[in-house]
Structures are given as structure tokens and as C-alpha cells.
Structure 1
Amino acid sequence: MTKKGKIASGSKKIFVLDTSVILYDHDAINNFHEHDVAIPIQVLEELDNFKSGNDTRNFEARSFIRLIDQLSRQQLISNWVKLKSENLGMFKVILNEAQLKINAEEVFGKGKTDHKILNAALGLKEENPGKKVVLVSKDICLRLKAKALNLFAEDYETGKIKNVDELYAGKTELTNFPEAIIEEVKKQRFLDATDSGILPRTGNHFYVLKHKRKVANVFYNQSLNTISAVSTDQVFKIKPKNIEQAFAIHALLDPEIKLVSIQGNAGTGKTLLALASALEQRKKFRQIFVTRPIVSLSNKDIGFLPGDAKSKTDPFMAPIWDNLRFIKDQFVGDAKMLEKIDELIATEKIAIAPLAFIRGRTLAKIFFIIDEAQNLTPHEVKTIISRAGEHTKIVFTGDIYQIDTPYLDAESNGLSYLIENAKNHPLYAHITLQKGERSELANLANELL
């Protein structure tokens, strides 16, 4: 029997979730196995403030509210309620009513919702001395405050990758490779990989094969078990400046690859290559969608900005328009092509809009580019891919080390999650771009500052 005040090893725990966890994953309460899950009543109040709008967090808030409504039915959620799945624990909403031995509002100050959430968890800890109570939050500062008050706290781990430094890069360099194979690859369009010296893989992959001064850049197709030479030809007048860019273009142009991710620092050419490849294949798709999530400065909603919807969002989409202008500049003197690009924009054959503006649309026969994908949650990446219709290609680009969304980091963002979990799928290809090609000055910033 467990003594009062002692926590039994291996016993059921109680996890207290704050608002940041729900806005990251509305289904979070179902991800704690047999353990019990609770939310402070202040979380419901904060979610009520988030339920209106088209942003990711608004959808997560509404989805969670519906989930709890379905769970409660005729029951009072101020009492413990059984979660739907048989192997899950109980759920309740915590009311802050009891007098506490340790009061977060007295320690850190009154009136702040975070401190009331801390008190809810502290109250639950006092009520359940035989159970380990853990506050779960994406907010680092809140976790530190909890630990300072002798309350266990941890990050929400679902969707996080284990080691970002070992994240799949999409390519491998093989030295001292058989010279005969390198020569054969250059002669034949496709080569059976069985006897090539390349070990079988569970996913598509790029290789740089080297033998002294001889080099072959190849793509390994997992479904066909073949290797083929990767071209360094230009695409829509954009020529790859390094082999990684050539690998990216190969994946973007391959009709058998339906899902592509390109990760890299600013200036490596991610968005430009994706847009040029889309324009090169414009006749194969009904429409080209280019989008990015809107992350406002100081985390204020764009509704505070003056003007209509277009004028509010145009500044956020400016980098995409800049890339399109750069492509147009390559056709100076070609009036016919310049007119064609303008026509594609005017007829919305190319549509550039914030991600929130295209929610719910069917993505059939569309070349869909999602820029700044590191600012998406894993759940949103999954939702986007699940909307893909027939003959659609989806491309995610971003830099996992340049995140603007609160509570996301290099390990928990949607782009990292996609790279880690899709790397072995035959419809997927990924490449990490290392070398900046914007300018030497831009490279200085990436390397030294």
C-alpha cells in the first residue's frame, strides 16, 4: 500500500494540460494512455476567446470544444469522466476552489491566467498525494514556474522528433564507388539498383557517387529499385547552382513523387525552385497554389491591421511575389512569356494566398506549395496532405531553425515531423539544401551571426 504523500512507482499519473497544448493538438487528451487528464477551467475560457477565426489555433480550439461536448453528453465534467477509448483514463475540468498550501498567485502575482492554471495543478496535487501530478505545457516559462513550486512539468512530446541533428537530409555521398557503375549510369536512363553497389533502402533517396575525379549524381527510386542520373538542366530558366538544388528540381519534376519537402536556410532557393518547377509543369495541373501560414508580429491577429483582407495579408505574401518577379526577370525580352505569366496570375491559374484562405478547398489536380512550413503544427501538415485529391502534388518548404510560431521549435514543428515520418514512403522525396545562393553577404549572416 502506498503511504500518504508517497507516489507509487508505475502508478497512474494525472496530467494537467494548459491552453498551449490544446492549440497545438486538439486531440491531446487522448494521447496519455491509461493516465488521467485534466484541464483548468481557465483553459476553457481562453479557448472560447480563440474559437473565432481561420487561423490554425482557431480550428484547434473549435475542434477541442466539440470533442469535450461529445465526451460530456449528460455528464458533469467537473467530475471525472471516462475518456472514450477503453485503454484511456479519465478526464475532468478543474475548478480552483480549495485553499492551497502553496499559492502561485501569491508567489508570482494575481490576475494572470497562467498563475491560476498553476494553482489548479497544485490543488490537484494536494487532493491526490498518492499520484504524480504533471503540468504539460508548450510554454517553457510556465514549466519553469511549476518546477519552482515543486510541481512536475514537461513539454507535450507527441509529434516531436527525437534528435533534430540526425534529421533525414535526403542525400548520401559514397566515395570509392565502382567506376564501371558511374560510367553505366551516364549511358543508361535507368539502371537496376540490385547489383549497383547501393544498398536497398525503404524510401526514395539521392546519392552522389564518387570515384577519384569521376562523379555521378543519381536518384534511387524505391518502388522500381532503380537508380537514374539527375540532370543539372535549368527549369523555367532557373538553373540549379549546386547539386542539392538539382536534386530538389528532380523531385519536383518527377510525376511519380506526389509529396516533396525542401528544408534549408534562408537564401538556399527553396521557394524559387518550387515555384519555377510548378510553372514548368503548369499544363499538367489545373492550378498552382502558393501559400504560407500567417504569423503576425507580436502574435497579434491581422484583424488589428487596417484595410480589407487583401491589404492585410499582402505584406505576409510579399516574399512569394518577390520570387515570381525574379522568375519574370529571366524572361526580359520575351514579351510572349511575360504576357503568359501575367495571364496566369490574372486568371488565378497561379493563386498566391495565405493558408487560412484556402481551408476546406478540394486539392484536385493542383501543384500546391506551402512555404514557411516550419510554422505549422504536425496536425496541420497532416490535415493539408489529407485534402489532396487525384493528380495533386504537394510541396512543403521551410527552415526548421527559423520558427516564428509560439510554442513550436525545431523538434516539434510540422516540417520536421513530416520529414521524419514520411522518409520511407514511395510517394515522398526530401532534400536539405545546405549552401546559400542568395549572395555572399547572406551567407555571412547564416554562417557567422
Structure 2
Amino acid sequence: MKKIYVLDTNVLLQEPHSIYTFEDNDIIIPAVVLEEVDAKKRNMEEIGRNARQVSRIIDKLREQGELHHGVELPSGGKLKIELNHRSYRKMEEIFIEMTNDNRILAVTYNLHEEEMLKENGKQVILVSKDMLMRVKADAMGIPAEDFLNERAVEKDEVYTGFREMAVSPELLDAFYAQGELDVTSITTYHNVNEFLILKSKGNPSQSAIGMINHKGKLKKCHMMGEHVWGIKPRNAQQTMAMELLLRKDIPLVTMVGKAGTGKTLLALAAGLMQIEDFGLYKKMLVARPIVPVGKDIGYLPGEKEEKLRPWVQPIYDNLEHLFNVKKPGELDAILSGLGSIQVEALTYIRGRSIPDQLILIDEAQNLTRHEVKTILTRIGEGSKIILLGDTEQIDHPYLDEYNNGLMHVVEKFKGHPLSGHIKLIKGERSSLAQLAADYL
């Protein structure tokens, strides 16, 4: 039986095309939602872009008929702008204040009651990204759901980039002797550029790490025990990460891990080696999205570099470690002398074409799918891009662990010969940092 879905504003602002994802069911957009979308359309950030896109989509549908009577959608359902059913009388004893959220709830509740009186009434469901909105709806007896269509992956399906496999001692010896194996002798399912940790069935302490190439061969990692700009991988996942970072034939690398697992430090060290020692790229462009943790510190004085410094200070902290800086101001002098490292905010990347460069995007979990697409489509010939992030530390109001731009890239590019991914597990910053990441 067909259902009626009432959409909250945050669903449209998160995914402007969401009205096309409900199959042949009917979609209701309360008039107050249009008011909230209109209030966001002058915003110059992602929310404003989505608000303008929603406006264009609805205006296009208006050409097909009167929206307050309902217009047909390609999927077979109907879209209707709800101007009636706004009475707040039945809710004022429950929620005293008449907020926009409560107006949306009132529309949903009144439609729900109206359908309940019909012999073959449709189920009315509120769809909202706001958890408390869903709780309030549930308390009133109205079914409520989160909008999950924009999720890249479900919780149990997150790709780590590596697997552990128990193999016979003979197979492990053959891998050590030959440096490669036919992956079909180990597993029937695999992704290109996926890592396998082979452990001996007879003695689990005997192990080896290999990466599957596009020819179906498991090849030994080249970076086992090697130092890169004074940095040596401390665990298996860091070894895998360094393998991906130093591979010229893998221009897209994604790394996910908790705070302190070494994502940024490894990427900077690998980047400096490829630029300064090997001359593979002209320079390294390092960028972070400007999303504050806690309250925004407001406008900052000075030139662009001075304004950016608080946002990109974690990058400078890692560079100070790599260059073994002892005195204040010494790092700036080193970077000025090198001229091969450029630190930017992602605000300035739109419209650029970036060839023959190594691009490092830190805190990529705070990017939306659209923002990630904008960045990746800037990449020119001969460039390599590295996306780093901790999906458990997201500061963007409309993103979560499973729908952020970084996870979309991981999932969409999984198994592609031009892409590699690794999830870092073990924290190496300090014992305290690892405890905080685990317990908090």
C-alpha cells in the first residue's frame, strides 16, 4: 500500500533530490519547510547551494500543475505542498511553543488523524534528520524515520582496506620465497589494491603483508621496515598506508583512523619524500575544511596566511616534528626556503586545475559528497590526492559517520585500480591519546 511521507527541512537541505527517492509513495512538503528553505538560499556555503537547488527542483515541478493539489513524480508518486492541516489546536497542550518544528509536526499529526478515519487510509510517516524531531513524533504516535538514502554504507559493511587470512605454512613460505602469489589460491573474493595479512595456521606469530594488484596477484609490500623522512611505520596498518602513499600508480588514497593513529604525519612524510627526494611532483598542496569545533572564534585579523593559521595549525605541528624544529619561527623559514609546500583552506580550491601536485586533504570527514566531488574534479594529470579523516569526529551539522563525503569516496572507489584505502587501527601518539580515543 502507498504511504505518505512528510519531509522535514533538513532532509531537503541534506539531499535536494530526496523527493525522487521514495518510489511510488506520496511526498508532502509543509509550507513552513519552504519558508525555512527560503531563509537558507542566500547562504554561500553548501547549505545555501542545496537550498537553491531545492527551489529550482520544486519550481520545475510547478510547471506540471498546481503544487497544492499535487503533481506527479517520475516514480509514480505525487508531490504536494501542504497549505492546510496546519491547525495547532490538538498539539498546544503537548508542545506549548509554536516553533517551526512543531508546525511541521502539526501538519504530520493532522494528516495522520485524517488518514486514520478513512477506510483504506495511508500510513503517514515523518522523515527527519533531527533525532529529537523523530522522538517527538514517536511520542505523539506518529511513525518517524531517518533519511538514510544518502548513506554510503551501513555500519557492518564499512570497508577497512585489509583482511587477515590464515594460510598453510607452505603457502606462507612460498609467498616469502617468490614475493607474490595468485590470490585465487588464498581467497575467492577480493578487491584490487586490498591488503591481506597472511598468518600461518601452525604459528600465528609468523605473518606477511601483501597487496592485491589488478592482475590478481598478491605482491609483497615494499615498505616493510623502511624509514620515510625519519618516520618508520609502527604497525601493520601504517605499513599498508605507506605503501599506498608512495605508489605513483595509485593517484587516490583514502585513510581513516582515530585521533593519534598517524594519518597526517605519514601522509606529510611520504609527500615530502616524493617531492624533495624523488621529484615526482612540483609541490604539495595541504588543505583542511574550515569547520570549527565548538564555538566559532569569529573574524581573525591579518593577511590570508595569518587568518588560516589557527585552522591549519595541526599541519604545522606535524611539519615541526618532521623538520625537527627547535626554535619559534624556524619552520616558517624552512617552508619559505623550500617553496614546495602550500597550505590552503578548501574555500580557495573551487575553479582551480591542479596538475603534477600532491594534494593532501585533512579532516575530510567534514566534507559533503558534493564538496568531495568538487575537489576530486580539480585534480589534473600527474597529480595524487590523499583524503584523511576520522569518521567518529564529525563537526558538520548534517553529516554522520556513514553519509560524509570521505565515506562516499571510500565506498564508490573500492576495488578501483586507481584507488587505495586503509583504516588505521592502533593509536601511536601516546598511551593517553589512545585511551581517550577508545573510552571517550
TM-score using structure 2 length: 0.85
Identical positions, percent: 40
Which among 17, 29, 47 is matched to residue 39 of structure 1? Answer: 29
- 1:274 partnered with 2:267: yes
List runs of 5+ in structure 2 lacking aligned partners. Answer: none
Distance 1:275 1:366, change over 3 A: same
Q: Deviations over 1:268-319 (max 9, x none)?
A: 011111222222223333443322222234576x7x4344684554322221
Which among 325, 328, 331 is matched to residue 323 of structure 2? Answer: 328
After superposition, residues 93-132 of structure 1 pair within 5 angstroms as: 93-95=81-83, 98-99=86-87, 102-103=90-91, 105-129=92-116, 130-132=121-123
Residue 91 of structure 1 corresponds to 79
Distance 1:241 1:45, change over 3 A: same
CA RMSD of aligned residues (A): 3.1
- 1:142 partnered with 2:138: no
Distance 1:207 1:32, change over 3 A: same
- 1:342 partnered with 2:336: yes
- 1:208 partnered with 2:203: no
Q: Deviations over 1:12-60 (max 9, x none)?
A: 2222221221222122111111122232222222223323344322222
For residue 137 of structure 1, report the CA deviation from its aligned partner: 0.9
Amino acid at match of 2:207: V
Which among 436, 443, 449 is matched to residue 434 of structure 2? Answer: 443
- 1:168 partnered with 2:162: no
For residue 408 of structure 1, report the CA deviation from its aligned partner: 2.8
Tell me, what secondary structure is at the counterpart of 1:281?
Answer: helix
Separation of aligned partners in 2, 1:236 and 1:52: 46
Distance 1:195 1:87, change over 3 A: closer
Aligned length: 425
Which among 23, 28, 43 is matched to residue 13 of structure 2? Answer: 23
Amino acid at match of 2:102: H
Cα pair 1:220 1:228 within 8 Å, conserved = yes
Residue 294 of structure 1 corresponds to 290
Distance 1:394 1:306, change over 3 A: closer
For residue 441 of structure 1, report the CA deviation from its aligned partner: 1.9
Tell me, what secondary structure is at the counterpart of 2:287?
Answer: strand
Distance 1:294 1:92, change over 3 A: farther
List runs of 5+ in structure 1 lacking aligned partners. Answer: 1-10
- 1:55 partnered with 2:42: no
Cα pair 2:15 2:150 within 8 Å, conserved = no
Tell me, what secondary structure is at the counterpart of 2:126?
Answer: strand
Residue 219 of structure 1 corresponds to 211
Q: Deviations over 1:367-420 (max 9, x none)?
A: 232222222334443443344443332322111222222243323333334333
Separation of aligned partners in 1, 2:378 and 2:62: 30
Amino acid at match of 2:101: D
Range that drifts further, 420-429 or 307-316: 307-316
Which among 72, 78, 81 is matched to residue 82 of structure 1? Answer: 72
